[in-house]
Every structure is written in structure tokens, then in C-alpha cells.
Amino acid sequence: MRLAATYSFNHGKEVVTERYPNLLVEINDVIHAVDASLYKTKKSEEGTMLDRMLYAPAQLNTAYKQEFKARGWKPVRVKCEYSDAYYEPGYTPRHESRGAFREMDFVKDKLGVEVQFGKYAFMVYNVAAKMTIFSNLKIIDCGVEIVPVKALVKEMSSGVSYIEQFVWDLEKRGVSNIDIPVLILGVDADEEVLRKGIAKPHRRSLVSPVASGKPRTRPGPKPRFTPEEIERMPKMPTFKKKKK
């Protein structure tokens, strides 16, 4: 894939570039290592694009996570201890809130990274809430959010958001005094893949699709019979066409 757009929220670009130049190189390497053509595997069932092959957001997320983990980035999870001090007198919850947690996709040297190919609300939550929370917990100092551009979303299922929409809302919202610096990166499929429909000649991914269980091409239908079963089947008689 390729880096197609950048947006500096609360001086995010300047801060990340100054404090984490080496990690920013790693993040760019991850983006270039993910071959989007391998994950155009989702057959649409939506009426407006029925049977059209689309990029699978979940598989793209997994590909990014594999590349980050291969470079030593790790997720960080914090347990949530929910208070019951806000319940009305006489109210008893039916279920206990056990096992609740918040997780940052990747953290390395106090730089947090979120990869989001999902709903718009998750993008806003990541930058406007989650990253602030993890900063308050002294886990990160600043963040990077990786999201698709609109051109890529046009080839995904409906409901996936994109950097153009995200940035519009952030600019209209403005920056709060509790916001941390966040560099927002918009990614797209490589231009050569879009033009030719083939995998791009980028440097080889650290995690191969075969090793990760991902097919190199779209899977075709499974054969109904094995070659051995076909061999044991009775041969159909042949008939010669009568001459007129």
C-alpha cells in the first residue's frame, strides 16, 4: 500500500517527526509492506454493488497487525475497574462488569499506533478519547492513527469511514487542552495495483500471506471430488454422430 494523505492534529506531525524519526520510518515500512491486492477477497452482497469484489477491512487490519508485531510493536491492554457509585439507591445491576478493558493496537517507546479500517465512531474515539486516556496513564506521549482515504473506501463495504471525513470533523471540533499530538495517516492501494490488477514490486513483507493463512489470490470454489474419486468413477459411454 502507499501513504496518500497526512493530517497533523494538535501538531502531531511535528512532534512525531521530531521525537520518533526512526519509528516513523518503521511505520512507513509497514504501510509499504502490506499488499492490498491480496485482500480484495470479499464478495459484496450489497444491492448497489452486488457480487463485486471488495477489500476486506478485517483482513487488512490483520495484515497491518502482523507487520507491526514483526517489528517489535506490541498491543497494550489496561483493565477497567468500573465504579458502582453512580447507581441510584435501590438499583442493583443484573450483571457484573467483569473482564472490561481498553487496548491500544501498538505501542513502542511511548508512541501509540491505532489502525482503523472500521466505522467512523471508532476513528473519533481513538483520537479524541482513547489516546488521551493512554496518555493520562503514562503509556504513550503521542499517537499515530492509520485510516483509509475515500478512494480506497469506495472499494469496501458501506459504513467504513475515511480520512477526508475524519479531518473535516476534527477541524470543526477544534483542539482541546486535553488532546495529545496525533499524526493521522491516510492510506490507499498502490497505484500500480489499481492500474494493472497485479501485486506491486515493493520490498518483501516480513510476514508472508501463506504463513499467515491468507491466500495469495482470491480462493476459487472447492472441487466436489478428489482426483482419486474421479479416477474411480465409471466412464460415460460415448456415441458417434450418425452421418446424414
DSSP 118-137: SBHHHHHHIIIIIHHHHHHT
Alpha helices, DSSP H only, in 4-118?
12-19, 21-33, 57-70
- Distance between CA atoms of 139 and 108, rounded to whole angstroms? 10
Model pLDDT, residue 48: 66
- Distance between CA atoms of 75 and 137, rounded to whole angstroms? 15
- Distance between CA atoms of 106 and 98, rounded to whole angstroms? 24
Under 8 Å between Cβ of 76 and 62: no
**Domains in the chain, ordered, with CATH?**
2-216 (3.40.91.20)
Under 8 Å between Cβ of 16 and 181: yes
What's the number of CA atoms in the CB half-sphere (13 Å) around residue 71? 22
Helix axes 57-70, 21-33, angle to 10 degrees: 130
- The mean pLDDT value of the chain amounts to 83
Tell me the per-residue pLDDT of 212-242, one tens digit each, with 9 for 90 and over: 444 444 444 455 556 666 566 655 455 455 5
Q: What is the dihedral of CA 71, 67, 12, 174, to 10 degrees?
A: -150
Tell me the per-residue pLDDT of 67-109, one tens digit each, with 9 for 90 and over: 999 999 999 999 998 888 899 999 988 877 777 899 999 999 9
CB atoms within 10 A of CB 224: 7
CA terminus-to-terminus distance, the chain: 63
Query: What pTM was computed for the model?
Result: 0.75
